[in-house]
Amino acid sequence: MKKLAVYPGSFDPITNGHLDIIERAAALFDMVIVAILNNSSKNSLFTVAERKAQIAQLIKKFKNVKVDSFDGLLADYMAKTKANACVRGLRAVTDLEYEFSLANINQKLNPKMETIFFMPSEENTYLSSSVVKEVYSFGGELKQSVPPLIDKALKKKFKN
C-alpha cells in the first residue's frame, strides 16, 4: 500500500516554511498532495487558481508531490483520496492547541486519518502567510521568507 499524505492549507501565499515541510514530507511519503482549501469565508489575496499555478511551479522538482484544491471537510477529502496521513506544521506552542483539536476532530470524522506534525526549521519558526502579506501590504518585503516567484507576485498584488 502506498503511503499518501495530504498537506492542507490556504497557502495564501506559500512561504519557504511551507516548502520546507513539503520537501521533508516528500522524503517520507510515496506521494504528497498539497491541498488548497477553497474557503469562501476567507478574504484571500490570491485566487485558488493563482495559488495552484504558483505551487505547481514551485514543486516541479519533486516527482512525488502534486497540487490540488478542495471544498468542504478535510476528513472527507482524505477519504476521497485514500490518503494515509495529514501533514501539518507546528510553528510555536500557540499552534499546538488549535492543531491538536483539529487532529482530534478529523480523526472522529475519519478514523483512518492520522495527523503528522512537522516542526519548522529554525529560520521558519515564526513565519506565517499572514505576516508575509502584512509586511508586503506596507511596502516591505521578506525575500528570505518566500520564493522569488512569490516575492514578485506579492509586489505586483500590492502595487495595484
Q: Using the predicted structure, report yes or no on whether residue 150 has a pLDDT greater than 90.
A: yes
CATH code where residue 45 lies: 3.40.50.620
In a domain, 104, yes or no: yes
Spatial distance between the Cα atoms of 130 and 108, rounded to a whole number of angstroms = 29
Spatial distance between the Cα atoms of 128 and 63, rounded to a whole number of angstroms = 26
Contact 85, 25 (CB under 8 A): no
**What amino acid positions are annotated as catalytic residues?**
18, 42, 91, 129
Contact 149, 57 (CB under 8 A): yes
Number of domains in the chain: 1
Spatial distance between the Cα atoms of 119 and 75, rounded to a whole number of angstroms = 22
In a domain, 158, yes or no: no
- Poorest-confidence range of 3-12, 62-71, 113-122? 113-122
Contact 86, 51 (CB under 8 A): no
pLDDT value at residue 160: 63
Contact 10, 48 (CB under 8 A): no
Which pLDDT tens digit goes with each residue over 63-102?
A: 999 999 999 999 999 999 999 999 999 987 778 889 999 9
Spatial distance between the Cα atoms of 122 and 34, rounded to a whole number of angstroms = 22
In a domain, 160, yes or no: no
In a domain, 153, yes or no: no
Which pLDDT tens digit goes with each residue over 25-70?
A: 999 999 999 999 998 778 899 999 999 999 999 999 999 999 999 9
Residue with cell 510515496: 30
In a domain, 148, yes or no: no
pLDDT value at residue 147: 96
In a domain, 156, yes or no: no
Which pLDDT tens digit goes with each residue over 133-147?
A: 999 999 998 989 999
In a domain, 155, yes or no: no
In a domain, 116, yes or no: yes
Contact 77, 11 (CB under 8 A): no
HSE, side-chain direction, 13 A CA sphere, residue 116: 19
pLDDT value at residue 70: 97
Query: Which domain range does residue 72 map to?
Result: 4-124
Contact 42, 133 (CB under 8 A): no
